[in-house]
Structure 1
Amino acid sequence: MEQKLKQLEEATADAQSALLEKETKLTSASDALTKAKTKLRLLDMEAQRNLQVNDTELPELISAELAAMEERDAAMARYETNRKYLSLFRERVASTSDGEK
């Protein structure tokens, strides 16, 4: 049981690290999109009128942000699931060791 507990702890720590990495990636993607939007807003009105969406990097930045959100959500679900099972397993180990005393 101790081996399984250790594996669950490692998997949870790995999932937490992956979650932090994905959150950083999402923050970077969101920041890049915000900067691009700000840059476009600063253009004069004539330039804004003549600008086509495909002339900008917005489609790629929006796609990157959405992909980063999906990756972060998947990593968060994995971490939350591992955390929940780790908590339940710890309770089980504690109750088993209390029963042996």
Structure 2
Amino acid sequence: MIDNLTKIITIEDVMEMLSISSKKTIYTYIQQGKLNPINKDDWHIEGRYEFDSEDVVRLQEELKKPGLTTKEVAQQLDISVTTVNKYIKQGWLPAFQEEYRGINC
């Protein structure tokens, strides 16, 4: 049963919220269990999947990058990537290395 406070959104809304241009990515998320339509078993009645907006917000948070890349830092500071790496090695700029799986993974 769907709570009356649940905001139901369409696949197009999900694409907009996640800044995704391909429905295929949404279908991949469904197959991977990262996104669960509220009408997964009877979507054919309406002819479309429907989602709880809170689930999409949760996925949006999950897909956020863990930080900035060295290139992004260089652009923000208006210096070269080489200089950013130098600052990291010298301990002037704190950094960590983490795998980023991105939105289309």
If the TM-score is normalised by the length of the shorter chain, which range does it land in?
under 0.3
Question: Is the helix fraction higher in 1 or 2?
Answer: 1
Question: Is the strand fraction higher in 1 or 2?
Answer: 2
Q: Which has the higher contact order (CA 8 A, sep 6+)?
A: 1
In the superposition, the TM-score normalised over structure 2's length comes to 0.26
